[in-house]
Structure 1
Amino acid sequence: MCRWAAWQGAPLFLSEIISAPDHSLIRQSRDATECKTAINADGFGLAWYDRRPEPGLYRDVYPAWSDPNLRSLAEQVQARLFLAHVRASTGTATSRNNCHPFVQGRWSFMHNGQVGGFERFRKSADMMIADALYPHRKGATDSEALFLVACGLGIDTDPQGAMARSVARFEALSRAQGTGPHMRMAAALSDGHTLYALRYASDDLAPSLFYRWCADWQGWAVVSEPYDLDQTGWTEVPQGSFCRFTPDGCEITGFAPETMARAA
């Protein structure tokens, strides 16, 4: 399983979360504690927002701990909102196109989890991507496909509803053609203004997700697992939740894809 971290708030050097803390994201890439796989060495990626509406994007296939360019970039780039991800593949190749975050227009997305048996119905899943968006399908992961389907289901005006409809469709495909566990996910996405996060599973084993208001940095940190070893001040996101983080606060509501998709 992957590890990721996101920030929404006052401009912050990426290194403050990615490399500086005692249990930073780079440390988690080789010594994660909140998931079955301690090693997350199948690539990494960053998406960050500054003065342009579209995010900057940097991804590579090396383990995060072994790339000096990542540390140098993190020390120099300051952003008010960013997403960072270290990958542990659930079956697809280690390639730059399969590394998170994924970007479409002003939207960025990253995911930890799996859609059970995706390789059995990948063609069916890809067919759900809107024609106008399909040229942006560069890799082979379930995460990218899930994101692009959501982009075609109204993510610009209703991020929660779009994600719910996309997740419901993928879970239905997994139940019909795939294997269990049908859906497990902890994901983050952003349009450059609001940071969204969700935690959901078709069973009772959703991947971990935590958040904290950082008074010293004036912003929200949202993570797969805390980046400090004492874990003081972190709140675990309940399973079946959708979160909105803005400079003004945090809102958490329920996330039930099948129910929300039927109501749409």
Structure 2
Amino acid sequence: MCRWLAYSGSPILLEELLYKPAHSLIDQSMHSRLGVETTNGDGFGVGWYGSEGLAPAVFREVGPAWSDRNLREMAGHVASPLFLAHIRASTGTAVQQTNCHPFRHGSWLWVHNGAIRDFSQIKRELVLAVDPSLYPAMEGSTDSEVMFFLALTFGLDGDPHAAVEQMVGFVEAAAAGHGIANPLQMTIGASNGSAVWAFRYSSEGRSRSLFYSTKMQTMRQLYPDNPVFQTVSEDTRLIVSEPLGDLPGAWNEVPESSYGVVHQGDDELHPFRPRLP
């Protein structure tokens, strides 16, 4: 599978999360503790928001993140208040740049950990359901990108959580028509530049790991001598496939079949219920 993180808060250098923590995303690319695979070396990517009103920037490569000198150089110079990063372990599709996350369309970034079971059997049905106006923007061959464009088709711009619920419902219905049991495994991070949505769900009710950070006010009380917690803003939040360190009280597991929203310092957590579009 894969590992990913989403950050929202005070502008920070990308290296603060990609490289510096004890169990940073780069460390997870070699030594994942909670993933299906220990190594995630089939490509990587990072997407970040800069000036307000501009589309997010994306940097993606096919090699392993731990040895990419360009990523290391860039991460020490690019700062952002909102970014998503992803390290990939392919579930069968080609290792190529267009299959690396984050996927981008307009103001949206999308990262995914998981898979659609027997994707090749239902791929044609799923792709044909993508809005014709969106289809030319699809560049890769992964189930993750198809899920993204189905969510866009079902109204991601207007109602993100409803669009993802409908996407999942559509995938599960298509799989049922082909006799595929428990077809979907997913944690998803998505952002339009103003908020971050995170989803944890699987058809069998045994989803991949996903965590969110404790509110910064609490972290300052728990660790008054930590300089990082003292300098970032109150509304700083992190969502991660697995914790970046072992600080007690710093991380909370996203419940099974749930989705969360981070927007201007407010946290929301709700049940996730697939439904047909």
- Pairwise TM-score range, normalised by the shorter structure: over 0.9
Which structure 2 residues correspond to residues 1-264 of structure 1 after superposition, within 5 A?
1-51=1-51, 52-177=53-178, 179-212=180-213, 213-214=215-216, 216=229, 217-218=232-233, 219-230=236-247, 232-258=249-275, 261=276
Displacement of 1:119: 1.2
Matched residues, percent identical?
39
Supply the AA of the counterpart residue of 2:70. Answer: N
Given that 1:200 and 1:240 are in contact with CA atoms closer than 8 Å, whether structure 2 keeps it comes out as: yes
Q: What is the DSSP-based 3-state SS (H/G/I as helix, E as strand, rest coil) of the residue aligned with 1:228?
A: coil
Supply the AA of the counterpart residue of 1:152. Answer: T
Displacement of 1:214: 4.1
Displacement of 1:178: 6.2
Would you identify which runs of 4 or more consecutive aligned residues in structure 1 move more than 6 Å?
none
Given that 1:50 and 1:80 are in contact with CA atoms closer than 8 Å, whether structure 2 keeps it comes out as: yes
Displacement of 1:53: 3.0
Displacement of 1:204: 2.2
Q: What is the DSSP-based 3-state SS (H/G/I as helix, E as strand, rest coil) of the residue aligned with 2:127?
A: helix
Displacement of 1:132: 0.3
Q: Which structure is larger by alpha-carbon Rg, 1 or 2?
A: 2
Supply the AA of the counterpart residue of 2:3. Answer: R
For 1:178 and 1:55, locate their aligned partners in 2 and report how far apart those are by CA, in whole Å: 39
Given that 1:26 and 1:64 are in contact with CA atoms closer than 8 Å, whether structure 2 keeps it comes out as: yes
For 1:231 and 1:47, locate their aligned partners in 2 and report how far apart those are by CA, in whole Å: 29
Displacement of 1:226: 0.5
Given that 1:120 and 1:178 are in contact with CA atoms closer than 8 Å, whether structure 2 keeps it comes out as: no
CA shift in 2, pair 1:3/1:12, >3 Å: same
Q: What is the DSSP-based 3-state SS (H/G/I as helix, E as strand, rest coil) of the residue aligned with 1:198?
A: strand
Give the structure-2-normalised TM-score. Answer: 0.91
**In the alignment, what sits opposite 2:221?**
none
Given that 1:24 and 1:227 are in contact with CA atoms closer than 8 Å, whether structure 2 keeps it comes out as: yes
Given that 2:205 and 2:257 are in contact with CA atoms closer than 8 Å, whether structure 1 keeps it comes out as: no
Which blocks of at least 5 consecutive residues in structure 1 are unaligned?
none
Supply the AA of the counterpart residue of 1:233. Answer: A
How many residues matched?
260
Displacement of 1:233: 1.4
CA shift in 2, pair 1:231/1:183, >3 Å: farther
Give the structure-1-normalised TM-score. Answer: 0.95
Supply the AA of the counterpart residue of 2:44. Answer: F
Given that 1:117 and 1:178 are in contact with CA atoms closer than 8 Å, whether structure 2 keeps it comes out as: no
Q: What is the DSSP-based 3-state SS (H/G/I as helix, E as strand, rest coil) of the residue aligned with 2:157?
A: coil
For 1:176 and 1:60, locate their aligned partners in 2 and report how far apart those are by CA, in whole Å: 36
Displacement of 1:123: 1.1
Given that 1:118 and 1:178 are in contact with CA atoms closer than 8 Å, whether structure 2 keeps it comes out as: no
For 1:149 and 1:72, locate their aligned partners in 2 and report how far apart those are by CA, in whole Å: 35
- Per-residue CA deviation, residues 45-79 of structure 1 (Å, 9 max, x unaligned), is 01100104310000000100010111111111110
Q: What is the DSSP-based 3-state SS (H/G/I as helix, E as strand, rest coil) of the residue aligned with 1:169?
A: helix
For 1:146 and 1:72, locate their aligned partners in 2 and report how far apart those are by CA, in whole Å: 32
Q: What is the DSSP-based 3-state SS (H/G/I as helix, E as strand, rest coil) of the residue aligned with 1:211?
A: strand
Which blocks of at least 5 consecutive residues in structure 2 are unaligned?
218-228
- Per-residue CA deviation, residues 143-163 of structure 1 (Å, 9 max, x unaligned), is 101101111111111000111
Displacement of 1:246: 1.6
